[in-house]
C-alpha cells in the first residue's frame, strides 16, 4: 500500500527543516527534502549555494520528480518539504492532487531578515506567498504559523495532525541532533541551526530592523500573509 502523502508548502527560512525533522522522527514516516529544487535551479538559472551539487543529486525534470513522489514506499506516511518559490516555473500542480497539503507561514519581516543572512536575493519570498495563495484559493488546506508552533508545539502539531487525518506522535516533539541521510545536497549551507537542534526552540520575540528595500519585500508579502494568518489553525 502506498504511503499517504503529506505535502508541506512553505517559504524559505520558516522552520520548514525543523518540521521535516519532526515528521521524520515518527516511526511511520519517510521524508523528501525539497524534491523540486533542481527543477527550479535549472529553469531559473539561479546561482544558489551548492547549485551544482543539487543539480547532480536530483532530477530536474518536473514530471519525473512528480512520478518519484507518487511511487514512494516503505512507510505509512511520506512527508514532502516544498519551498513554494521552487514552483515559479512549474508546468502544473496536478502532482499535488494525491497529497494532503498544508501551508506553513511566518511573518514576512522575520523571513526576510533570516533569508538575507544566507542569500542576497530575498525576492523569491514574494513568489512563495503568491504561489501558496493561488494554490489555497483553488484547494483550501490547513494553515499553521511558525510562531504558533514554537509557542505551543504539541498543541499545534496535534491540531495539524488532526486536520491532516493522521495520528499525532509524541516523537514529533524531539529528535537526535545532527544531519540526516535524507537531507538535500544544499544542507551544509542552510542546516547548521537545525542540525544542532533536538526539538522546537522556544519562541523569541525579536526586534527586526530592515533596510528600505528589504522592508519593501516584506510589504509585498503582507496581504498574502494576513490572508493565511486569518485562516490558520489555532490550537
Domain of 149, in residue numbers: 4-229
**Would you say residue 134 has pLDDT above 90?**
yes
Q: Is residue 235 part of a domain?
A: no
Looking at residue 118, its pLDDT comes to 81
Q: If phi over 0 gives left and psi between -120 and 50 gives alpha, with beta otherwise, what is residue 86?
A: alpha
Give the SS3 label for residue 57: helix
Q: How many CB atoms lie within 10 A of CB 75?
A: 17
Counting the structural domains of the chain, the total is 1
At 112, list the grid cell. 526576510
Q: Is residue 234 part of a domain?
A: no
At 63, list the grid cell. 514530471
Give the SS3 label for residue 189: helix
At 104, list the grid cell. 506553513
Bridge partners (DSSP) of residue 169 are: none
C-alpha–C-alpha distance, residues 82 and 194, integer Å? 17
pLDDT digits (tens, 9 = 90+) for 76-108: 999 999 999 999 998 789 999 999 999 999 999
pLDDT digits (tens, 9 = 90+) for 21-63: 999 999 999 999 999 999 999 999 999 999 999 999 999 999 9
Output the domain CATH number for residue 111.
3.40.50.300
Q: Is residue 9 part of a domain?
A: yes
Looking at residue 114, its pLDDT comes to 87
- How close are the terminal C-alpha atoms of the chain, in Å? 32
Question: How confident is the model over 212-230, as a mean pLDDT?
Answer: 96
The alpha-carbon radius of gyration of the chain (Å, integer) is: 17
**Would you say residue 205 has pLDDT above 90?**
no
Q: Is the pTM for the entire model greater than 0.85?
A: yes
Q: Is residue 196 part of a domain?
A: yes
Grade residue 119 by pLDDT with cuts at 50, 70 and 90: confident
Q: How many residues does the chain have?
A: 235
Amino acid at each position: 500500500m502506498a504511503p499517504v502523502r503529506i505535502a508541506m508548502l512553505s517559504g524559505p527560512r520558516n522552520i520548514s527543516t525543523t518540521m521535516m525533522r519532526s515528521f521524520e522522527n515518527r516511526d511511520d514516516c519517510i521524508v523528501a527534502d525539497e524534491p523540486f529544487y533542481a527543477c527550479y535551479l535549472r529553469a531559473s538559472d539561479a546561482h544558489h549555494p551548492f547549485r551544482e551539487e543539487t543539480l547532480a543529486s536530483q532530477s530536474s525534470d518536473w514530471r519525473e520528480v512528480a512520478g518519484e513522489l507518487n511511487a514512494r514506499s516503505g512507510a505509512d506516511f511520506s512527508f514532502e518539504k516544498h519551498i513554494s518559490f521552487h514552483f515559479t516555473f512549474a508546468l502544473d500542480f496536478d502532482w499535488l492532487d494525491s497529497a494532503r497539503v498544508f501551508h506553513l507561514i511566518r511573518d514576512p519581516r522575520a523571513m526576510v531578515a533570516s533569508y538575507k543572512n544566507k542569500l542576497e536575493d530575498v525576492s523569491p519570498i514574494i513568489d512563495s506567498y503568491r504561489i501558496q495563495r493561488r494554490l489555497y484559493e483553488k484547494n483550501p488546506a490547513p494553515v499553521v504559523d511558525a510562531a504558533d508552533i514554537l509557542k505551543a508545539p504539541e498543541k499545534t502539531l496535534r491540531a495539524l495532525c488532526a486536520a491532516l487525518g493522521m495520528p499525532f506522535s509524541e516523537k514529533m516533539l524531539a529528535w537526535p541532533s545532527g544531519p540526516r541521510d535524507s537531507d538535500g545536497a544544499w544542507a551544509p549551507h542552510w542546516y547548521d541551526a537545525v542540525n544542532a537542534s533536538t526539538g522546537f526552540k522556544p519562541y523569541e520575540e525579536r526586534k527586526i530592523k530592515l533596510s528600505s528595500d528589504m522592508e519593501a519585500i516584506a510589504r509585498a508579502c503582507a496581504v498574502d500573509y494576513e490572508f493565511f494568518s486569518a485562516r490558520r489553525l489555532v490550537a
